[in-house]
A and B are shown apart, each in its own frame.
Chain A
Amino acid sequence: MLKILNKLRVLTFVIPTILSLSYPALSADKPELTVYTYDSFASDWGPGPQIKNAFEAQCECVLTFVGLDSSLGILGRIRLEGQNSMADVILGLDTSQMTVARNTELLHPHGLNDMSDRLALPETASNWSDQHFVPFDWGFFAFVYDEKALSSVPQSMADLIRADDVKIVVQDPRTSTPGFGLMLWLKSLYGDDAPAQWQALAPKIITVTKGWSEAYGLFLDGEADMVLSYTTSPAYHRIAEGQTQYNYASFAEGHYMQVEVAAMLKSTDQPELAQSFLAFLLSNEAQNIIPTTNWMYPAAAGIALPDGFEDRAKPSGLLLADDDIANNQEAWLKEWVTAMSQ
């Protein structure tokens, strides 16, 4: 028995050592810029590694991406950390979170003056004059389908709501960004009538998942005819997989937009570096990385999209005012739960 205890004692030393070995040491001589983002931006397949290399090549610094579980997670984290945040820049919030983020009073104006000249956002958001947020990419929410499996594709949201043989899978607005986007989409189209429209839509919804990945997986497994995703999703299948049967349904009323933004924090100890990173995000170099890694449209003007990325005219965009969202989101979420639970 003592022998067993001795062995266990050895393990208690070995294991923390293994754990601590799995950490790379940071180089101490260069300044470090820490960027909080969502996990898939920072992952090996996301834009993170390439952007890091490109920026480090010109900044004499170390750029560290910290991948948090979602864009909601980024905001939650800086709110908790307050003035002591490790982050210098947050990247990956979208327009619906801007007011909440601004109200934390943790953000510092980006100070980029000529920004709106460089941007190429769709009409709805073309007048970008925000003092805190730098948009770096954008996309439309859309229902993606498999051409081989679905023949009668709805041509508008009203079509989809009236359709009786289409099965769709969506995400929960309480836990996921696209789900929240769909809630805003119906709100911007129908206003106070949105709950009734949700009720009409409900029979077509096979399930409401926690996140995008579960919903998209269900769609790829053939459980649903359409999935709530982005207009850029088919581009992934065309470019990365060479599969052409996936497409998105273009809706006549327009598509709700997601503009992803970055901002620097007041508490940063590297303000110049943070600012130059925000400017770098809109440079041709960074913007060219975005389309085939983050699978969104680049925010800057004059960026050529790779082959296969887009072969249709872009739909018109819908966007609600961000303070409107901040003031009403609780009420709208309650409305959604009530409408969908009946």
Chain B
Amino acid sequence: MTQYNEIRSYHVNGGQFNRLPLTGIAIVIGLWGVLAIALIALLQAATTFDQPRLFLGLYDILISDNRIAYALQSALIQATLSTLCSVLIAIPLSLVMARRYHWFGMPFLRIMTGLAFVIPTTVAASGLLAVWGRQGVINHLIAAVSAILPFPIMELPSFFGLKAVVLAHIFFNAPLIIRILLPRLLSVPETHWRLARMTGMTARDQFRFIEWPSIKAMILPMMVLVFLFCFSSFALVLMLGGGPAVTTLEVEIYSAIRIAYDFHLAVILTLLQIAVAMIMLLIMVSHPIMRQAMPQSISAINPPSVYILVSPSVSLKIFDFIQIGILAILLVLPILALILRGISSDMISVLTAPSFWQALVNSLSIALASAICVTGLAVILAETRYRCESNRHQLSRWQQMIILFLESGVMMTLVIPSIVMGTAMFILLRHLSNVFVIAPYLVLFANILMGLPVSYRLISGKWIIARRQDHHIRLAYGISRMTNLRFLILPVMGRDIGLIFGMVAAMSMGDLGVIALFSSSDFETLPWLLYQQAGRYRTDEAAATAVLLMAVTVLVFIMGYVIGRWLSSAPSLAPSSAPFPASLTPFGARD
């Protein structure tokens, strides 16, 4: 009966609109609701401290006090630069990583790209400094070389400043972009590559006709995601920025809450961040690229077996070689530096401390719980996004509005500073008898909000294509939703679901987030332990903990990969399923 109803609903709607996704819409309303409640709670608490001045304040802050305007300007410039650089570096890199998929070093590079995004920011910064800093690898190399040469060579100029912040943001975000683009490139049906081979396409043609069309729909949403990350970055910007000239609004929000107790100011600044995010999302949703339906078909991720150029020219080899070199210097060297420092330090005393194991158990529980929740939510939201679209090639204004509402609801959690969220949660829950008992749940909740934007971005694009693809099969055979999920969706999407599971779990492992605001010694997580060690002269132990944290993160990531393989293990009925099961390759498409 259900099946019949579903099929009928398609006919009734004439393919114009799918069934209204009520669960998804409820979730989005919930996300916006959380945000609204948080800001209202802050405003309400503010009135107990001083006079309300919300609208008057906006004028004061933006016009008369140039500090805020300056912070806004600085954050915009920094975030724009970081985003452009990250994208420009990541696109050719993901092409190379797809093209040289079977190169022996590639599984290692893929693990590294998964790792970068989840390293705690200040730890990563010290890894970057180990390469680029005054005592870094490069300066040591220069010193060694200039000892041989008769003339002296200039040392690197000081690392700190805008360039350091941009470089650090590339370190975090280029791997994330690669993580989003690579599956798209690997999901191009094998027939496309065969065709390219038969018609003798050059690398440039291949990019123009196959690779670019398969990734272009992802570029804008990804840029918005990266932009919002960089725009709301905080400790990293301060640490590497070289002074308050390179700053973000988050610093001002932090000091508004912590020093001035000016919650009005904090709310106004948060609203300002939201406004910037909304403008970005509006540009994204209304851009022509986004309005076109994505016409391309996809298959399960499979390492291309015939992904070979007709003439793998020397220049292309050199290009690929240079790209891999860039990745090695940007990404691998800093991580290796961190690992080396950690291993040579006081590993034993960290491993024998009971607090480490307790923190590990706490972190793992939080990571698994948030990974399960976020994966579920991301799938539901991706499905919602799909159903918001008609099957026509142009979206109506109304549909665009719904999509904007959805996308912004998901992305908004990125620009809510954790101190705002934490303080608001605290205000709301302060009447509970013991706020520390619910601390783990608050951390879980914050992690869910944090993981959602990335995982939604990772899954939604491909989910929509996969659903469009199975649409006709479902109509033709009238199969049930569960069968559809099992045999049409999961074989194609399983690995992506596994990826976001691993990714969110890994992110939660590394996030300090609101725990700093709520923590009591009863609930320690690994990043909190790390933070405490670093704050107590224990640099050595902190380095060891950082390496252990990275190791656990890699394990969690691999767990996501295994889950992905298990989910996608059903025989696929999807139209262009992989002729080569991914399991034949040593490391599969994911790691």
Q: Which residues of A contact B (CB under 8 A)?
A: 1-2, 4, 8, 11-12, 15-16, 18-20, 22-24, 39-40, 42-46, 48, 64-70, 72-73, 76-77, 79-81, 84, 86, 167, 172, 174-175, 202, 205-214, 216-218, 220-223, 233, 236-237, 240, 295, 329-330, 333-334, 336-338, 340-342
Q: Is the CB of B259 within 8 A of A329?
A: yes
Q: Are B522 and A24 in contact (CB under 8 A)?
A: yes
Point out the residues of chain B lying under 8 angstroms from A46, CB to CB: 536
By beta carbon, the residue of chain B nearest A49 is B521
Write out the residue numbers on chain B whose beta carbons fall within 8 Å of the beta carbon of A73: 258, 516-517
Residues of A within 8 A of B133 (CB): 221-223
Task: State A25–B523 Cα separation when bound (angstroms).
Answer: 13
- Beta-carbon nearest neighbor of A45 in chain B: B536
**Please, could you name 7 A-B residue pairs with CB atoms under 8 Å apart, sorted by A?**
A42-B521, A66-B520, A80-B430, A207-B239, A214-B238, A221-B130, A340-B244
* Residues A15 and B369 in contact, CB atoms below 8 Å apart: yes
Residues of B within 8 A of A44 (CB): 353, 355, 532
Rounded to whole angstroms, the CA-CA distance of A176 and B366 in the bound complex is 29
In Å, the complex CA distance between A223 and B155 comes to: 13
The minimal Cβ–Cβ distance linking B284 to chain A, given in whole angstroms, is 31
Q: Which secondary structure characterizes the binding site on chain B?
A: helix
Contact status B244-A208, CB under 8 Å: yes
Known: A15-B369, A213-B534, A337-B244. A223 touches B135 (CB 8 A): yes
Is B234 an interface residue when CB atoms closer than 8 A count as contact? Answer: yes
Task: Give B65's nearest chain A residue, CB to CB.
Answer: A334
- Tell me, rounded to whole Å, the shortest Cβ–Cβ distance linking A294 to chain B: 10
A40, B532: Cβ atoms closer than 8 Å: yes
Pick the 5 closest A-B CB pairs, nearest first: A222-B135, A174-B255, A69-B516, A213-B534, A213-B535
Using A213-B122, A214-B239 as known contacts, list a sample of 19 further A-B pairs with CB atoms less than 8 Å apart, ordered by residue number in A: A15-B365, A19-B362, A19-B441, A40-B532, A66-B521, A68-B519, A73-B258, A73-B516, A77-B426, A79-B261, A175-B258, A205-B242, A217-B539, A218-B239, A221-B130, A223-B134, A337-B244, A340-B245, A341-B244
Which residues of chain A are within 8 angstroms of B130 by Cβ–Cβ distance?
Answer: 221
Assembled-state Cα–Cα distance A73/B98 (Å): 48
Q: Are B430 and A340 in contact (CB under 8 A)?
A: no
Number of cross-chain contacts by CB at 8 Å: 199
A68 to B542, CA, bound (A): 19
* Complexed CA–CA distance, A233 and B369 (Å): 41
A28 to B61, CA, bound (A): 50
Separation in Å of the A328 CB from the closest CB of chain B? 12
With contact pairs A209-B238, A218-B129 given, residues A340 and B361 touching in the complex (Cβ less than 8 Å) = no
A338 CA to B67 CA, complexed, in Å: 7
From residue B533, how far is it (CB to closest CB) to chain A in Å?
Answer: 8
- Alpha-carbon distance between A15 and B242 when the two chains are bound, in angstroms: 43
- Tell me if B67 and A337 are in contact (CB < 8 A): yes
For window 539-561 of B, CB contacts with A under 8 Å fall at 539, 542
**Does B126 lie within 8 Å of A40, measured CB to CB?**
no
User: Which residue in chain B gives the minimum CB-CB distance to A336?
Assistant: B244
Chain A CB within 8 A of B235 CB? yes
- The reply on B119 being an interface residue by CB < 8 A is no
Contact B129 A207 (CB under 8 A): no
Query: Chain B 118-159 against A: per-residue CB contact (8 Å), 1 yes, 0 no?
Result: 000010011001100111000000000000000000000011
Stretch at the interface among B194-202, B209-217, B432-440, B464-472: B432-440
In the assembly, what is the distance between CA of A211 and CA of B254, in Å?
13
A174 to B239, CA, bound (A): 14
Cβ distance B372 to chain A, nearest Cβ, rounded Å = 6
B220 within 8 A of A: no
